[in-house]
Structure 1
Amino acid sequence: MKESTEGRTFHPGYRIGLVCRMEEHISNESRTLPPNYQMVLIEDGNGMVEVGTQVYPLLSPAVYCYHPQERVRLIAGRPLQYQILCFSPGVLNERLGDLLNAQEEPGQGLTGTDAQDLWLLEPFTERQDGYCGSIPLDPTSARHLAELLLEISKNLRDQPDYHWPCRSRSYLMELLFLVRRSYRRTGFTPAAVPYNVPDSVKPILEYLHTHYREKIKLEDLTSAFHLNKTTLGEQFKRSTGISLIAYVNKIRMTMADSMLRNTLLPTTEIMERIGIRDDAHFIRHFRKYSGYSPAEYRSKYCWMLNNNS
């Protein structure tokens, strides 16, 4: 993927460090993302994301923020619809590149709007308290973010008038403010997938994280991975510490956790999206996972209901 867009009719030869594209990622494939400051909007689908040596479940809708030193690979389950925005910090402020590469402590030598511009990039640079660049979005924020990405893409592609670089930059700033606001209020970070496991177990983990919406039967897994039930169960539990069925339930409850915290979607829709069709089953397992019923959990933790969030 190229790292900049070049002017044609207006500002010919001028380059702006912005590139935006929409992708339809086909099932059961992976794609390594280019090393850059980049924002990945996951609009639909499921799978995993590999960041360096760690692997995390993909959430949707969600935005993922990465910096150039991170090696990122998307692993799709069902078709993954996403948009990628690659940008240079210099688009915001020509001094940011030097500031981000400097050895001083953060905040040293800042002038003018440098501090505010660096503040906008915190979702891309901060990595602490388990945060891995993943920011769950409520549907309204996801739509707003998608609309801004579309405007950036149209301006970079069509370059309709003399002001296309400034207009693209203004949309980028609005986009980064939206992402920074969502980053500040998010209280959910998905735990890493246990990937330090034998090679025979890794494809099973990938399968579970990319097919949890479907009805998973042990018979199908034994056939797909050429193992008998006993061997499959023993290898999986020895590697992860829990049974295969318990692991699938954990994936589903983790996804439900994110949607209950960050959306007002009906519980029936959340159940459908995580592959559960029985109310009592969902309530029982979510209470075991969190200590609360889904309704109690949303009431306590959903920022859309909590004015103090």
Structure 2
Amino acid sequence: MSDEPKTWHRGLDEDKPSYVGEMLKTQTNVTAGLAALATAAVAAIPLGLAGAAIPLVLFGAGEAIASMFVPSSQTFRNLIDRRIRAKKRAAFVEHLRKQIERLAMRDDDNWGVYQRMLDRVASIQDLRKHRKDVITERDLERLEDAAMDYLSLWLTQLSISDRLDSLGSKGLNKQHYQTEERLKKNPDDVTLRKAKADLDELVKRAERLARRKTVVDAAMIGLPDAVEEIYTAAITSPTAGDVASRLQEAVDRLHIDAELDSKLDAEMGDIPLRLASRPATATKH
């Protein structure tokens, strides 16, 4: 399985957290610090400042020693990185939900599909608490990404549909046909030739957009199915080794083309503006 990181947290490697700082903020460390302060306060009553300094010095020494080993621990770093990715994932999911709610109905069936995916992932998370070997932590995180990917696909689908509807309402095909007819009568008209070239490009882009919508539609069916397959493999097989081959195929199906949205924006983002200006140019002849 590919280890290519998800687009939404590729910046994690470029903006690494301070692992020493993260260690200092852990609940265990904070509790130890408070305990040291409380002990110092109690010791100050009979022993004065010298007595109060003892637990604080011991705490500081412990911190210094811990900071030499804990932050460099791969286990600790993986824990912190995963926590940061989870935070970023939650923020991105919230962003996607808000965008989708502006375009989709509250009773859309896709909400139910999304919730079922969340339930399946939660069940596997609970199962892994008792059977660590049922699925690797890496694959579990990919499952957590899957529900987010589904929302991303859904938003892309809604965006494509909206753009296709916009193109249809502006009569792209009709304008293209009319421009061709005018050009037949005036083959040397430079303005019409330019208009037809622009419209040819827009028609091709719209066709590519429609093809991409077909791909997105298929992915929206395949992604929940992949999660179901992984869930079934996890609950019916006793060990990770028994589900390895099934997970290989199913988890790989979770990979979504991360550049889809950017390609769509690059190809179709200027269509409404160009199309809106086209009739005035073409109708002059």
Query: Could you say whether these structures have the same fold, taking a TM-score greater than 0.5 normalized by the shorter chain as the test?
Result: no
TM class by shorter-chain length? under 0.3
How high is the TM-score relative to the length of structure 1?
0.25
How high is the TM-score relative to the length of structure 2?
0.27
Judging by fraction of residues, say which structure has more strand. Answer: 1
Answer 1 or 2: higher relative contact order, Cα 8 Å, separation at least 6.
2
